[in-house]
Structure 1
């Protein structure tokens, strides 16, 4: 039988699984000198935003807590 939702999310918090995305996100802005605030996202072009979204979604898909529905 499948593990209960609460057990999966407690044992595999999503926040910890996104550490590599956070590091990648911050380094993207550090190399350009742009602050990594939400306002800075407006300075990115469509392709850069799309790449960030794809990276985030890819990372979310492999997290156990994201696959419970």
Structure 2
């Protein structure tokens, strides 16, 4: 399919997914890295309390 035809189909709201190779698709700037952070106790205690209330880990709360 030529680019002009692809653009026209896309602009018309047609499904163009069959023309795409999604096997190598990735979102830019979405890779993860590890960071260590020290929090004062007065920050950790409410985090733990909320994590316990929600039934999740402290790490999950921090990620949010």
State the TM-score, normalized to the length of structure 1.
Answer: 0.28
State the TM-score, normalized to the length of structure 2.
Answer: 0.30
Higher RCO (C-alpha under 8 Å, 6+ residues apart): 1
Kindly name which structure, 1 or 2, has the bigger radius of gyration based on alpha carbons: 2
